[in-house]
Structure 1
Amino acid sequence: MEFKKQSWILILLIASPLLLEILFFWNNDSYANGIKSLEKSTSLLLLPICILGNYKRVHFVKLLQWYATATTAIMVVFLIRFVTVYPDLITKYNKGIDLWELGYRFANSVGTHAPALNMHLAFVTIINLYLVVHSFQNFKSSIVKFFRILILIIAIFMVLLVNTRVALLNVFIGIGIVFFFEIIKKYPLKSVVKALATALILIGTILFFYIQKNPYMKEKYSTVTFAHMDKIGKLDEIKDPQIHVFNAAVTRLSIWKSTWELSLKNLPFGTGSSDGKPELFKYYKQTNQQFLAKFEFPVHNQFLDFLLKFGFLGPIVVFLFIFGIAYLGFDLKNAIIISFFCLFLTSNCTDDFLIRFDGIAFSGFWYAIFGSYWLQMKIIYDKALIVD
């Protein structure tokens, strides 16, 4: 292994959530549960040490190619399995019954949560678009270009199948970022217009045919999302809230309101990493919020989650952790890294992926890969300055 000074800064930055848990370990009511929480975060130290210690061996574009292609292929296998193993569900969805649950049932069949799965799939879709552009920029063969476009279409379809709002938003944000950094800044206006028109036609066609088969999508992105906004903190006044507002914005806002109130009561050091959820569930019952208590909703916001657990220092660490990715991306002017930053920021504003092992490992792995690529580019830049 070989470490530069910048490597240690990156390692400390990536491991900052773990270091925060260690710093506040004394605040856990149960040390056994505190150790269990620590265990999930150890990858934020091990991954950057192993990857950044071997940063010269990281082949960035090749890794993107293998990751995006393999993940898309695996999801196709899972889709075939879903259709084969659950024919009764497919029949039901073809009749337009309970379309709201399709994405969640598919994600459950894979063994994960729909927002978590779609965060990965949104990133894969953005990479696939980048690779399509890359294949044209590097004058690859027609077969390679066709293959890349096909993989992109499949990836977009998988995002629509799981159908979570934040992931779909991030796909569009990622498309804009890739176009800006890889096409608009590098090609004349005529080429940009052609590329943009082609992309809009492709994505518009996929959306059109998907919405025809899943009319619930129009309802989900309009009336369902913003229903009952006058009932924040009063969800039990809604008849059958589990049917009408389970995935609505009002439920998130009610959770955040409770989390904020409980956080203020536990300043300046928070509840402890192992006690955040139990204390929040108790607070739902204390404030007579039966719907939230019944389903034991977690915080669904990483900044608020760390505020509840660690007090003032929690949101600061989340900010530094996430915006460190932004620094790497904008310093390199790299569309993939900037897209990942936007994806991980928005995902953690509506969910809390640094409390899930898949979110922790996902961010730790790619953070270290981005750091390795940044170090490589810095070495090339420094050598160029020496030659000049």
Structure 2
Amino acid sequence: MIFRKPCTWIIIGFVLFNLCFIKKLKHTRLAILLGLVIASPLLLEILLFWNNDSFGEGLKSMEKSISLLLFPVFILGNYKRVQFIKLLQFYSYTTTVIVLFFFIRFIVVYPDLIDKYLGGTDLWEMGYSFSNSIGIHAPALNMHLAFVAIISMYFVVYSFRKNENVAYKLLRILVLALSFFFVLFVNTRMALFNVIAGTIIIFFYEVIRYYNFKKVAAIITFGAVLLGGILFLFIKNNPYMKEKYSTVTFAYMDKVGKLDEIENPEAKVFNSFVTRVSIWKSAWELSLDHLPFGVGASDGKPELFKYYKQTNQHFLAKYEFPTHNQFLDFLLKFGILGPMVVFLYIFTIGYLGYDLKNAIILSFFILFLTSNLTDDFLLRFDGIAFSGFWFSVFGSFWLQEKATACKERLIA
């Protein structure tokens, strides 16, 4: 999921494998309905394909979303075979090992950068340098890593609840510690917020429900000491983090739409909230000019960049910032229907988690919702494939639980 080309080839292999066993697919009415929701961003692109200025660019935009059709067809069609817990465990372990490998590679291949960061120089670029070294945008990488950290926290609690042996417990704690460290190293604000939110959800659903007060207090203390200790050590060695999460984030809020009035905006507000708000303001104004159908899927970015130039926002035009908000991105591209589809797509994940009372799915919902409020992950292949795959897996688990409940009612 982290790497576009390997992920694309794996999806192709996955599809070809399933085509060999296409007769085994069984789609219930609920599965078809859920599949349509998962594929809704792609279906919206098809519905409004005529609105693209370029046929070729329209097809290129649509190609990124094909997995939103393939995953529900083959995963929901085989929902009885999906092993939810094993998939989560495999995903968390393998992703952590892969990122650990690239972290070690980063230390070996870029010793000059490591020396610079250890000396406290340009700490703001550390996470981005690491992400760029493996060819992925930092917020996208940290969205994956935040989900891995949440899963790892779940399995630590799971290990104690199931009373697994000491080796398993230590392994799960190690994976949690590594995954949380990687979230801090890449250091994006929403990822850290989502790990904290996911941890709270897991404690509410998986700890408070199953343990007495003494055990709850002991587990919370253990979790706070483990994560708090890692956070303390990281902040101690990365003083920029205090600045980033306080003064940098909300600096220059009086300059919304007027970033060029700031001296050296690259250094002062490149990652600040004022830049996001300035982008949103421009996207909103441009969207209102192109209602009800938007500018077209392939023309969202070019039209926004053109608008920056027309409104003399040279800093935004120079770096060609996309919308950084999925609701606004779809409003700009598809008009009124756009935000409605994003809402349906994301909040259906939330409904599945709420209906199942499942901490992992609810945490994913919060993660993907907040990530798309400050970024646009249904615009990127990694966000599309990531959400489409897990949405289909969550849907399969939901269908399994519905089928089990139905059988129990029939037996009763």
CA distance in 2, matches of 1:276, 1:255: 13
- Structure-to-structure mapping, 1:281-292, within 5 angstroms: 281-292=305-316
Structure 1 stretches lacking a partner, 5+ long: none
CA distance in 2, matches of 1:17, 1:309: 11
CA distance in 1, matches of 2:86, 2:316: 45
Which residue of 204, 218, 225 maps to 1:180? 204
The one-letter amino acid of 1:82's match is F
- CA drift of 1:295 comes to 0.2
Equivalence for 1:111: 135
Equivalence for 2:74: 50
Listed one character per residue, the Cα deviations across residues 170-213 of structure 1 (whole Å, up to 9, x for unaligned) are 00000000000001122222211111111111111111110111
Q: Secondary structure at the match of 2:257?
A: coil
Listed one character per residue, the Cα deviations across residues 105-128 of structure 1 (whole Å, up to 9, x for unaligned) are 000011100000000000000000
CA distance in 1, matches of 2:50, 2:196: 43
Which residue of 227, 231, 241 maps to 1:207? 231
Equivalence for 2:253: 229
Listed one character per residue, the Cα deviations across residues 267-291 of structure 1 (whole Å, up to 9, x for unaligned) are 0110000001000000000000000
The one-letter amino acid of 1:137's match is R
Give TM-score scaled by structure 2 length: 0.94
Which residue of 340, 345, 368 maps to 1:344? 368
- Structure-to-structure mapping, 1:57-96, within 5 angstroms: 57-96=81-120
Pairwise CA RMSD of aligned residues? 0.5
Moved over 2 A (4+): none
Structure 1 residue 245 corresponds to structure 2 residue 269: yes
The one-letter amino acid of 1:370's match is F
CA distance in 2, matches of 1:367, 1:27: 28
CA distance in 1, matches of 2:363, 2:231: 21
Equivalence for 2:53: 29
CA distance in 2, matches of 1:203, 1:149: 11
Q: Secondary structure at the match of 1:299?
A: coil
The one-letter amino acid of 1:50's match is F
Which residue of 366, 385, 398 maps to 1:361? 385
Q: Secondary structure at the match of 2:139?
A: helix
Listed one character per residue, the Cα deviations across residues 255-276 of structure 1 (whole Å, up to 9, x for unaligned) are 0000000000000110000001
The one-letter amino acid of 2:207's match is I
User: Quick one: percent identity of the two aligned structures?
Assistant: 65
The one-letter amino acid of 2:300's match is G
Give TM-score scaled by structure 1 length: 0.99
Q: Secondary structure at the match of 1:354?
A: coil
Which residue of 192, 198, 216 maps to 1:192? 216
CA distance in 2, matches of 1:51, 1:166: 29
Q: Secondary structure at the match of 1:355?
A: coil
CA distance in 2, matches of 1:150, 1:41: 35
Aligned length: 388
Listed one character per residue, the Cα deviations across residues 325-346 of structure 1 (whole Å, up to 9, x for unaligned) are 0111000000000000000000
- CA drift of 1:142 comes to 0.5
CA distance in 1, matches of 2:40, 2:62: 12
Structure 1 residue 325 corresponds to structure 2 residue 353: no
Structure 1 residue 261 corresponds to structure 2 residue 261: no
Which residue of 318, 321, 345 maps to 1:297? 321
